[in-house]
């Protein structure tokens, strides 16, 4: 995997988490903070929104790094992982990369108190949910076989486990 391929793979989360929300905000002119949120509620929203964005960026960085170092690939379909990644956050939840993107999208909608950005967050979640079930997971079963099936049986798709899954040693 080249540095160029790795850098290009960053375009997917940047597109979803930054470019699309900016286009949505531009098209809807939904740039202002809500006048309904004042005082302590405003501060609580800003803190929770910022925490969500920061956590999401951290999760995305960690998963992209694991894809490169352990998976020997990228998150991009044109340069997929060569080895199944079951380390780090992947021991708790099957889709931590998308979970990171979702945290960023949710945080953006909270920070800007934007209903249209919240709807983009919801649409992105639902779209990914069905994409994973219909296309991605079957393709990973085809590529990684029983290892991926065992992983799916032990690690939930969206709601993280409370303890890390420890894969059996073959």
Q: Are 63 and 97 in contact (CB under 8 A)?
A: yes
Q: How far apart are CA 107 and CA 129, in angstroms?
A: 20
Share of the chain above pLDDT 90, in %: 64
Place of tokens 């029983």: 146
Residue 153's pLDDT band, with cuts at 50, 70 and 90, is: very high
pLDDT digits (tens, 9 = 90+) for 96-130: 999 999 999 999 999 888 889 999 999 999 999 99
Question: Which tokens is 47 given?
Answer: 């803190």
39 compared with 145, residue with greater pLDDT: 145
CB atoms within 10 A of CB 109: 21
Count Cβ atoms within 10 A of the Cβ of residue 7 and give its class: 0-12 exposed, 13-18 middle, 19 or more buried: exposed
Q: How far apart are CA 44 and CA 20, in angstroms?
A: 26
Q: What is the mean pLDDT of the chain?
A: 90
Place of tokens 């969206």: 158
Q: What CATH code would you report for 3-154? A: 1.20.120
Give just the sign of the alpha carbon dihedral 97, 98, 99, 100: positive
pLDDT digits (tens, 9 = 90+) for 33-75: 555 566 777 788 889 999 999 999 999 999 999 998 999 988 8
Give just the sign of the alpha carbon dihedral 156, 162, 164, 168: negative
- Kindly provide the b/e burial profile for residues 66-76, where b requires at least 16 CB atoms within 10 angstroms of the residue's own CB: bbbebbebbbe
């Amino acid at each position: 995997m080249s540095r160029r391929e790795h850098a290009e793979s960053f375009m997917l989360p940047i597109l979803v988490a930054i470019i699309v929300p900016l286009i949505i905000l531009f098209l809807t002119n939904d740039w202002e903070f809500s006048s309904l949120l004042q005082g302590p509620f405003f501060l609580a929203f800003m803190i929770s929104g910022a925490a969500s964005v920061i956590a999401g960026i951290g999760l995305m960085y960690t998963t992209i790094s694991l894809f490169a170092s352990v998976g020997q690939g990228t998150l991009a379909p044109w340069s997929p992982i060569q080895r199944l990644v079951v380390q780090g956050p992947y021991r708790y939840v099957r889709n931590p990369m998308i979970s990171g993107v979702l945290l960023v999208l949710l945080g953006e909608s909270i920070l800007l108190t934007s209903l249209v950005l919240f709807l983009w967050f919801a649409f992105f979640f639902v779209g990914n949910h069905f994409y994973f079930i219909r296309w991605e997971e079957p393709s990973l079963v085809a590529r990684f076989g029983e290892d991926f099936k065992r992983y799916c049986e032990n690690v939930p798709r969206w709601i993280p486990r409370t303890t890390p899954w420890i894969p059996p040693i073959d």
